[in-house]
Amino acid sequence: MRVFFNAIIVQIFLSAYIYWRGWQGLPDKKYIKIPYASIYIAELAIYFMGFFTSGTGLLPFDALHSFAWVGTTWMLFTIYMTILLLLYDLVKYINRKKKIFAIDLKAKKPRLIYFCASLLLVCSVMGYGNYRFHNPVVTEMNLPVDKHSPNIKELRIVVATDIHAGYLIDKNIVSMYVDKIMEQKPDIILLVGDIIDYDVKSLYEQRMETEFLRLKAPYGVYASTGNHEYIDLGEEKDEKILWLSKYAGLTVLRDTTILIADSFYLVGREDDKCTTRKELPELMQGVNKDLPIIVMNHEPHRLYEESDAGADIAVFGHTHNGQFFPVNTIMSISSAIYNTGTIPEHLKYRSMYEIPYGYKKKDNTHIYVSSGLGLAGPQFRIGTISEIVVLNVKFDK
């Protein structure tokens, strides 16, 4: 709750800053300034109404969905607009000291031109980012595994992480996800954590299980937990996880190892948020390591655990690859720092990853960190992609 209140404070200050900078450039005409002010008042009213009524049952799902979309969209809009307007203020300050530009940057006309240009740029970028979100890509890779699989020589694995089904990622979007997953003709489907966004109430309201029940594959549909499955919003213990198995029909592997078709092992690890999470060697006691081993693990921390344990394939999610610029660039830089080996393991931030996104072979383990299919919060992919991962695995004959 504290995080959400902090977000509100940030929203208020950023919105006020953008509002004031736009106001300074607008002509002194009531028919212009009154609608301009009305937009900000309406947005903040929607944001607060959505925030304080979420989870109370006072508003129907459609209203909460719309309020959530407007609120999260405005949040990203204010971030980008603030960055551009601060840049203008910085140049204006430097120009006052050094006289780089001949024009008066404090005058109304340059202020208005820059504000309108910034508005056009941000809206264009966000429009494209929303298009990228609604059009997931399929990332396909061929992976050779040098182990004998008695009954299966080739395996088409479809991996989807971070669906975040809920008020924002509603039933219509999940339906599109399911269609795209099934189009890949999977032999097995792996949903690697954060399948649910924040609360399970929105899933009951939409009968979201009818979409998940459409997922079918010859060797099964499996899920592992993510950090969002452990967000506590006053629900019954593990209610979100139980919904996945009881209603959505998924086989949820919670620190569980199973042998599939007497040919390969699938290991589903609990998320780091689980207080009873087991170590991987404990999960793999009794595993015949002559057979292929596939591990699902939501958060890509300590990748050496999978490689040291002898996993052949390990799939992860969680990072969203930063979700939107410049967070993706920051994650890439922090990954480069991480991989220098100069920071001791116990001092590394949880937001630092050996691989924030993509493929890496670590020892004999094929590792893939997906940028995720859905999103938490704003529905925009700016500098990143929404993806379904298809792994075409060939076992040694």
Give residue-wise pLDDT tens across range 184-198.
999 999 999 999 998
**How many whole angstroms separate alpha carbon 369 and alpha carbon 253?**
19
Predicted local confidence at residue 55, as pLDDT: 56
Predicted local confidence at residue 352, as pLDDT: 86
Angstrom CA distances, 311 to 143, 157, 283, 287, 362, stand at 13, 16, 12, 11, 10
0.75 cut: is pTM over it?
A: yes
Predicted local confidence at residue 13, as pLDDT: 83
Per-residue pLDDT band for 75 (boundaries 50, 70, 90) equals confident
Could you tell me which of 140, 183, 185, 136 has the C-alpha nearest to residue 164?
136
**How many whole angstroms separate alpha carbon 384 and alpha carbon 334?**
17
Predicted local confidence at residue 54, as pLDDT: 61
Of all residues in the chain, the percent with pLDDT exceeding 90 is 64
Predicted local confidence at residue 56, as pLDDT: 57
Query: What mean pLDDT value characterizes the chain?
Result: 89
Instruction: Name the β-bridge partners of 315.
Output: 296, 368
DSSP structure string for 171-197: HHHHHHHHHHHHHT--SEEEEES--B-
Residue 80 has pLDDT above 90, yes or no: yes
Six-digit token pair at 210?
Answer: 């009818």
DSSP structure string for 246-262: HTS--EE-SSEEEEETT
Average pLDDT over residues 236-264: 94
Q: Where are the domains of the chain?
A: 1-133, 138-395
Six-digit token pair at 95?
Answer: 């120009």
Higher pLDDT, 358 or 41: 358
**How many whole angstroms separate alpha carbon 225 and alpha carbon 204?**
19
Six-digit token pair at 110?
Answer: 């340059």
Per-residue pLDDT band for 1 (boundaries 50, 70, 90) equals very low
Could you tell me which of 222, 220, 156, 150 has the C-alpha nearest to residue 183?
156
Per residue in 7-33, pLDDT tens? 667 778 888 888 888 888 888 888 888
Per residue in 338-351, pLDDT tens? 888 887 777 677 77
What region, left, alpha or beta, does residue 322 occupy, with left being phi > 0 and alpha being psi -120 to 50 degrees?
Answer: left
**How many whole angstroms separate alpha carbon 36 and alpha carbon 43?**
11
Per the CB < 8 A criterion, the answer to whether 97 and 52 are in contact is no
Return the CATH fold of 138-395: Purple Acid Phosphatase; chain A, domain 2 (3.60.21)
Q: At what angle do helices 61-98 and 108-134 cross, to 10 degrees?
A: 140
Per-residue pLDDT band for 51 (boundaries 50, 70, 90) equals low
Per residue in 281-336, pLDDT tens? 999 998 999 999 999 999 999 999 999 999 999 999 999 999 999 999 999 999 99
Residue 180 has pLDDT above 90, yes or no: yes
User: In a 3-state reduction of DSSP, which class is residue 304?
Assistant: helix
Per the CB < 8 A criterion, the answer to whether 310 and 289 are in contact is yes
Residue 154 has pLDDT above 60, yes or no: yes
Predicted local confidence at residue 52, as pLDDT: 66
In what side-by-side order are the strands of the sheet with 221-224? Answer: 137-148, 387-396, 154-160, 188-192, 221-224, 251-252
Higher pLDDT, 272 or 344: 272
Length of the chain: 397
Residue 226 has pLDDT above 60, yes or no: yes
Element (H, E) at 202: helix 201-206
